C-alpha cells in the first residue's frame, strides 16, 4: 500500500466540506481543530458516495451501482488493513479507527445510497424513515464519538437531528430532486393534500402551500426532539451542534419567506447570518439558551 500524506487527506476532506456543505462547515469552526478534522473526514466519505450516485454524468445505472459497491468494498478492506492509499479514504479510515466508530454505520449509509439508484418515490413516511436511517440518522450516530456526550441518552436526539437535517434538505431541494427523477415527499402526503398536480407542474398552489406547511412542521418536530440532547454534550461540542441546528433550521424559515416556492430557487442562509450565529455561540452564554423556546 503506497503511503499517503494523512494531513493532505484531511485537508482534501475539509475542502469538500467547505465547498459543498457550507452550513455544516460553518458550524465546525466552533470545534477545536482536533475534532474538526474528524467531521471533515466523515463529510468526505458521505460526499464521495453521493457523487457516485448523482454526479458521474451520463453513466449507466449498472455502472453507478458497480462503482458504489467498489467504493464500499475498498473502504471496508482499507479499514480492516488499518490504512488507505486513497486520498479521501486515508482520513476516513484514520478517523473511524481513532474514534472507534461502528463500521455498521457505514454499511447502513451505503445501503441508503444504493436505494437512491433504484427507488424514486416513497409511499409512506415510515418508508422514508427506513431510507433516512442510513442516509441521516446514522450520521448522528457517527458524530457521537466526535462530540463525546456525557450519556448514552444522546443517541436518540443525535438520530433525530440527522433526520431533521435531511428533511430540511428534502423540502429545500424538491425542484432539484425532480430533475433527478426523485420525489422524497411521501406519496400519501401528496394525496392527502391534493398536491400531485402542483408537484408535476412545479407550481405553488394553495394545495402545495398546505402540504409544505405540514412538512416544514414535521421537520421542526424532529429539531425539537433533538434539542434535548444538546445539554448532554460538553460545552465545545454543544456550541457546534447548536450552531448547526440553528443555521440549518433557518433554511425552513427561508422556504417560508419564499412562499414555499422550492421549484424556482434554492433557500439559503446568508453568510452574515452564519457569522452572527457563530459569534453568539462563542460567548459564555450556554448554547441551549440560544435555541428556540420548545414551548413556543
Q: How confident is the model at residue 24 (pLDDT cuts 50, 70, 90)?
A: confident
Q: Does some domain include residue 260?
A: yes
Quick one: 85 and 187 in the same domain? no
Q: How confident is the model at residue 280 (pLDDT cuts 50, 70, 90)?
A: low
The CATH code of the domain that includes 149 is: 1.10.600.10
DSSP state of 59: -
Quick one: 144 and 232 in the same domain? yes
Candidates 163, 182, 175; CA nearest to 263 is: 175
Residue count (the chain): 296
pLDDT in tens, 133-178: 999 999 999 999 999 999 999 999 999 999 999 999 999 999 999 9
Task: Say yes or no to pLDDT of 208 above 90.
Answer: yes
Give the HSE-up count for residue 278: Cα atoms under 13 Å, Cβ half-sphere.
15
- CB-CB contact of 42 with 143 (8 Å): yes
- CB-CB contact of 112 with 139 (8 Å): no
Flag whether the pTM goes above 0.95: no
pLDDT in tens, 83-110: 999 999 999 999 999 999 999 999 999 9
Work out the average pLDDT over 262-277: 75
Does residue 81 or residue 278 have the better pLDDT? 81
Q: Does some domain include residue 1?
A: no
Task: Say yes or no to pLDDT of 293 above 80.
Answer: no
Domain boundary among 118, 153, 177: 118
Domain boundary among 118, 143, 158: 118
Task: Say yes or no to pLDDT of 71 above 60.
Answer: yes
H-type alpha helices, the chain: 6-20, 22-28, 33-54, 61-81, 89-99, 104-118, 125-132, 138-147, 155-172, 174-179, 187-192, 196-201, 206-227, 235-257, 271-281
Quick one: 254 and 137 in the same domain? yes
Rg of the chain's alpha carbons, rounded to an integer? Answer: 19
Q: Does some domain include residue 40?
A: yes
Displacement of CA 45 from its chain's centroid (Å) = 12
Q: How confident is the model at residue 289 (pLDDT cuts 50, 70, 90)?
A: very low
Task: Report helix, strand and coil shares of the chain as percent, to nearest 5.
Answer: 75, 0, 25
Quick one: 173 and 261 in the same domain? yes
- 155: Cβ–Cβ under 8 A, 6 or more apart, which residues? 140, 141, 144
Full domain range(s) for residue 68: 7-118
Give the HSE-up count for residue 108: Cα atoms under 13 Å, Cβ half-sphere.
18
Work out the average pLDDT over 276-294: 56
pLDDT at 4: 75
Task: Say yes or no to pLDDT of 274 above 70.
Answer: no
Q: How confident is the model at residue 264 (pLDDT cuts 50, 70, 90)?
A: very high
- CB-CB contact of 273 with 250 (8 Å): yes
**Spatial distance between the Cα atoms of 239 and 28, rounded to a whole number of angstroms:** 9
> Dihedral (C-alpha) 205, 209, 211, 217: value to the nearest 10 degrees?
170
Candidates 246, 240, 249, 248; CA nearest to 282 is: 240
pLDDT at 272: 60
pLDDT in tens, 37-65: 999 999 999 999 999 998 767 789 999 99
Quick one: 280 and 144 in the same domain? yes
Quick one: 196 and 62 in the same domain? no
**Spatial distance between the Cα atoms of 159 and 136, rounded to a whole number of angstroms:** 7
Quick one: 99 and 160 in the same domain? no
Task: Say yes or no to pLDDT of 296 above 50.
Answer: no
Burial class (CB in 10 A: 0-12, 13-18, 19+), 181: exposed
Domain boundary among 91, 118, 145: 118
Mean pLDDT score of the chain, rounded to an integer?
90
Q: How many domains does the chain have?
A: 2
DSSP state of 37: H
Work out the average pLDDT over 236-240: 89
Quick one: 51 and 172 in the same domain? no
Amino acid at each position: 500500500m503506497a503511503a499517503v500524506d494523512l494531513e493532505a487527506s484531511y485537508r482534501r476532506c475539509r475542502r469538500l466540506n467547505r465547498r459543498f456543505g457550507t452550513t455544516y462547515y460553518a458550524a465546525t469552526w466552533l470545534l477545536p481543530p482536533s475534532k474538526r478534522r474528524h467531521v471533515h473526514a466523515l463529510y468526505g466519505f458521505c460526499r464521495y458516495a453521493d457523487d457516485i450516485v448523482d454526479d458521474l454524468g451520463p453513466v449507466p445505472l449498472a455502472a453507478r451501482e458497480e462503482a458504489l459497491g467498489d467504493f464500499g468494498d475498498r473502504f471496508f478492506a482499507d479499514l480492516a488493513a488499518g490504512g488507505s492509499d486513497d486520498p479521501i479514504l486515508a482520513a476516513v479510515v484514520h478517523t473511524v479507527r481513532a474514534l472507534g466508530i461502528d463500521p455498521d454505520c457505514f454499511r447502513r449509509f451505503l445501503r441508503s445510497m444504493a436505494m437512491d439508484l433504484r427507488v424514486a418515490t416513497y409511499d409512506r413516511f415510515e418508508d422514508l424513515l427506513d431510507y433516512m436511517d442510513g442516509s441521516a440518522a446514522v450520521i448522528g450516530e457517527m458524530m457521537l464519538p466526535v462530540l463525546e456526550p456525557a450519556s448514552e441518552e444522546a443517541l436518540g436526539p443525535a438520530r433525530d437531528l440527522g433526520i431533521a437535517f435531511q428533511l430540511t434538505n428534502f423540502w429545500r431541494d424538491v425542484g432539484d430532486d425532480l430533475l433527478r427523477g426523485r420525489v422524497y415527499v411521501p406519496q400519501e402526503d401528496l394525496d392527502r393534500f391534493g398536491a400531485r398536480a402542483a408537484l408535476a407542474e412545479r407550481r405553488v398552489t394553495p394545495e402545495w402551500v398546505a402540504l409544505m406547511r405540514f412538512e416544514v412542521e414535521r421537520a421542526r418536530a424532529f429539531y425539537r426532539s433533538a434539542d434535548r440532547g444538546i445539554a448532554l454534550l460538553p460545552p465545545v461540542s454543544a456550541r457546534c451542534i447548536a450552531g448547526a441546528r440553528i443555521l440549518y433550521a433557518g433554511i425552513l424559515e427561508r422556504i417560508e419567506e419564499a412562499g414555499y416556492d422550492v421549484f424556482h430557487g434554492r433557500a439559503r442562509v446568508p453568510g452574515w447570518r452564519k457569522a452572527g450565529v457563530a459569534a453568539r455561540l462563542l460567548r459564555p452564554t450556554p448554547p441551549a439558551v440560544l435555541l428556540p423556546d420548545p414551548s413556543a
